[in-house]
Amino acid sequence: MKNIKTIAKKELSFYFNTPTGFIILGIFGALVNFLAIRDILIRDQADLIPIFSILPWLLLVMVAVISARSFAEEKKSGTFEVLMTLPLKLQEIVLGKFVGLKILSGLTVLSLLPTIIAVFMLGRPDPGVIVASLLAAFLFAQTLVAIGMFISTTSKNTLSAVFVSIIVFFLVMIIGSPLITDQFPRFLRSIFFFISPMARYQNMAQGVIDLKDVTYFISVIVAFLYLSIEQLKRNR
């Protein structure tokens, strides 16, 4: 546990000992709050349903950038070999980096708090829906982080990891959409819908916290963290 905390702190220190983390949070927070407030003013309705519907697409780019760096940057800078020779278990390295990025991605989701507070001041939103939507956003972001970290373990540089992550994230997000499912037989549609993280996210964002959806997100996260560990074993 101590080693995991140390690696998590090291991962976070890159972002918050330099302006990088503050720039990411600032840009993301400014964009998401601007879009949310603009929608409230246009619709003249104090709710957050529209912003939570586009939040995954904003997370797509942000998570692709931060997760791509996790291992690909280590390889590019030459510190990956040093990391692999340290007296650390591979699961400690992977979990440590995941915890650090989970905190960073969680902070980006929480950057929506100013608008949430404003909505409660202006209207009477359903607290249950907002809590469920925030939980959905946290789990969705963590799922993308786990997938992005695995992609990073297979990449030699950060740029290629970002590029591949964006493509994979995009495919993952549209796999359960009618744009894709309508092209296939009904039995395949149900499969696509079942494996679609966006479908799970949308269910929770409606205010329904289903144990099946939570279990799905956790299972995908665990699966890709395991794949990252296995990939590192091959690189060691």
Map tokens 């964009």 to a residue: 31
Distance CA 160, CA 142 (A): 21
- Mean pLDDT, residues 96-112: 93
**How many residues are given for the chain?**
236
If pLDDT is split at 50, 70 and 90, which confidence band does 60 have?
very high
pLDDT value of residue 213: 92
pLDDT value of residue 185: 74
Residue 64 amino acid letter? A
Angle at CA of residue 205, ends 201 and 208, nearest 5°: 100
Distance CA 45, CA 112 (A): 17
Tell me: the pLDDT tens digits for 153-202?
Answer: 998 888 899 999 999 999 888 887 777 777 777 777 777 778 888 889 98
pLDDT value of residue 106: 92
Q: Which domain holds residue 58?
A: 2-235
Environment class of 212 (CB within 10 Å of its CB; exposed 0-12, middle 13-18, buried 19+):
exposed
- Mean pLDDT, residues 28-43: 88
- Mean pLDDT, residues 19-28: 88
- Mean pLDDT, residues 13-30: 87
Give 13's contacts (C-beta < 8 A, 6+ positions apart): none
Tell me: the pLDDT tens digits for 195-206?
Answer: 888 889 989 988
The encoded tokens of residue 30 equal: 């400014």
Tell me the pLDDT of the chain averaged across its residues. Answer: 87
Tell me: the pLDDT tens digits for 129-156?
Answer: 899 999 999 999 999 999 999 999 998 8
Tally of domains within the chain: 1
The angle that helices 211-235 and 197-205 make with each other, rounded to 10 degrees, is 140
pTM metric for this prediction: 0.91
